[in-house]
Amino acid sequence: METLKRSMLSFLHMIKHYWGLAINHTIQGCVSSGWLETSAYTFPWSLKGLRMIILLACIAVLCGLLYGYNEGVIAGAYEPIKAEFEFSAYWGGLLVASLSIGGLIGAYLSAYLSDKFGRRSTVIIAALFFITGAVLSSVAQDLFILTFARSLIGMGIGLSSMAGPQYVSEIAPRKIRGRMLGAFQFMISFGVLIGYLSNLITLDLGYSAEAINRWQFMFLLSAIPAAFLLFGIWSAPESPRWLVMAKRSAEAEAVFEKIEPTRSVAWVKGNVKRIEEDLAEVADQKGGWLDLINPRNRPITSFCVFTFLFQQLSGINAVILYAPELFGDLGFSEEASRLSATVGLGAALALAAAASLLLIDRVGRRPLMVYGLPACALSQFLIVGGFLMGDGIGTALSVSGLCLYVTSYSLSMGPLPWVYMSEVFPNYLRAKGMVVAVTVNWVFTFLVVFGFPKLNQLFTITEIFLFFAICCCIGTVYAIRRAPETKGVSLEDIYELFHKGGSKTAEGPVAGE
């Protein structure tokens, strides 16, 4: 037992050592490449403070990586699972959509856990769900256990999809807050790409149950980043804003000093005092669910709900989860060619998501949404036109439309709902408001994922994508009328943007005006 204990401690120290090296090399690479500027004007933090910021952001956005991987991996795992269990179309849809069911449950749990025990503790619980679900799905011997295991992973995603962005938004300095929140979506997209790559790399493992099953190995891989998430978040500080809400202002000051060590004591105390004053202004409000729809908060809630609604009705999950089938309809007959094309689509998704990290704090939130949605609509029309034209030029047109769609989505409707959700709600309602927004996300994810195979039988693929294109057009009109600009605005001031005639950082209208 003592030998095992020493071995475990040595392993943990090794992870900590290489984790620190990775963060240091990341900082040096970002600074040398110009991605992070260290001048007093653009980035007034020492490298010590920057190391802490990037460490915290990396821990939080690992939630996004796990989200994306577990979404993407099912695209290629579906066929080998079906070959082994020989299930019906109904059970197949339920297996794919089980992630959404767990995500919905996790989103509701996150409201209580995040406010009661803190954002950090919620991420710890999410990591445990990820690990348990990954291990259980890799040893499942029947479809029911596999579906249950996928639901556990979904619960981890539901918890982390709220607590992760919330943690980042409350701990990151405002100058890079949008970039860090956009990193959450990038990690989702990058995770999808890794899932697609695992589909292709493990293709030679085949479907035989005599050796390790291909799909079991793919599911087990997600336990690795989940373990890093658990270790990292365990040693990270709690959100300073939650600490103030929990009447632990001294601890909040200590966290601010770690994040921005070059700041003066007066700045730290002033920052904490401002949060206290913001909370005091709403002390008479209990922060219940009904407060989300009172006249003052209704514009904020409705904006977040509609933003996630248009995100899902753009059809992204139909494309991500059923990409191999879509390429099969386009004439990619061999499984290897379908999976290779899917990897290419995932690469476009991830590259565009990486670009959004630079654009979201430079261009702003509103322009990306106003121009991104019509770009998504245009790409959907190209997909429809390609399917109508048939093989040859039609196939090339549809593939181009798919690539343009995932690129436009990753630059706009991919990160923006998560960024807005984490920014616009007041402190006392942020957890519950984010739950409502994420719930809309999961409900419509389930409807799209579970219903797409059946819709594909009732309607043609062109009719389905035409519906998605029309939704993007409606979303464009909504964005022009309601999307605010929150770039460079403090969390405490963003709330007031929804009740004034203009934005401090943009000329566009304010949501709900």
pLDDT, tens digit, for every residue of 225-251?
A: 999 999 888 878 888 888 888 888 888
Consecutive H or E run containing 120: helix 119-139
Neighbours of 256 (CB within 10 A): 22
Q: Would residue 25 count as lying in a domain?
A: no
Q: Would residue 111 count as lying in a domain?
A: yes
Does 340 lie in the same domain as 253? no
The structural domain count of the chain equals: 2
Per-residue pLDDT tens for 69-93? 999 898 888 878 888 887 777 787 7
Does 287 lie in the same domain as 253? no
Burial class of residue 18 in the structure, from the number of CB atoms within 10 Å of its CB (0-12 exposed, 13-18 middle, 19+ buried): exposed
- The whole-angstrom separation of Cα 335 and Cα 347 is 18
Does 253 lie in the same domain as 142? no
Q: Would residue 130 count as lying in a domain?
A: yes
Torsions phi, psi for 82 (to 5 deg):
-65, -35
Does 248 lie in the same domain as 232? no
Does 246 lie in the same domain as 210? no
Tokens found for residue 391: 């093989």
CA distance to 68, 268, 303, 395, per residue, from 363 (Å): 25, 29, 20, 34
- The whole-angstrom separation of Cα 67 and Cα 103 is 10
Does 357 lie in the same domain as 264? no
Give 101's pLDDT tier (boundaries 50, 70, 90): very high
Could you say which of 224, 246, 281 is where a domain stops? 281
Q: What secondary structure, in 3-state letters, does 264-322 show?
A: CHHHHHHHHHHHHHHHHHCCCCCCCHHHHHCCCCHHHHHHHHHHHHHHHHCCHHHHHHC
By mean pLDDT, which of 26-35, 93-102, 331-340, 469-478 is the weakest? 26-35
Torsions phi, psi for 306 (to 5 deg):
-70, -30
Give 509's pLDDT tier (boundaries 50, 70, 90): very low
Q: Would residue 30 count as lying in a domain?
A: no
Give 282's pLDDT tier (boundaries 50, 70, 90): low
Does 473 lie in the same domain as 393? yes
The answer, yes or no, to whether residue 308 has pLDDT greater than 70, is yes
pTM summary value: 0.76
Give the range of the structural domain holding residue 335, as residue numbers without chain letter: 44-236+282-497
- Tell me the CATH number at 142: 1.20.1250.20
Q: Would residue 168 count as lying in a domain?
A: yes
- The whole-angstrom separation of Cα 86 and Cα 102 is 24
Does 171 lie in the same domain as 241? no
Q: Would residue 35 count as lying in a domain?
A: no
Give 326's pLDDT tier (boundaries 50, 70, 90): confident
Does 319 lie in the same domain as 429? yes
Q: Would residue 70 count as lying in a domain?
A: yes
Does 205 lie in the same domain as 297? yes
**Region 37-62: what's the mean pLDDT?**
59
Does 257 lie in the same domain as 155? no
Higher pLDDT, 357 or 7: 357
The answer, yes or no, to whether residue 419 has pLDDT greater than 70, is yes
Does 277 lie in the same domain as 288? no
Q: What angle do CA 394, 349, 469 make, to 5 degrees?
A: 50
Give 125's pLDDT tier (boundaries 50, 70, 90): very high
Q: Would residue 10 count as lying in a domain?
A: no
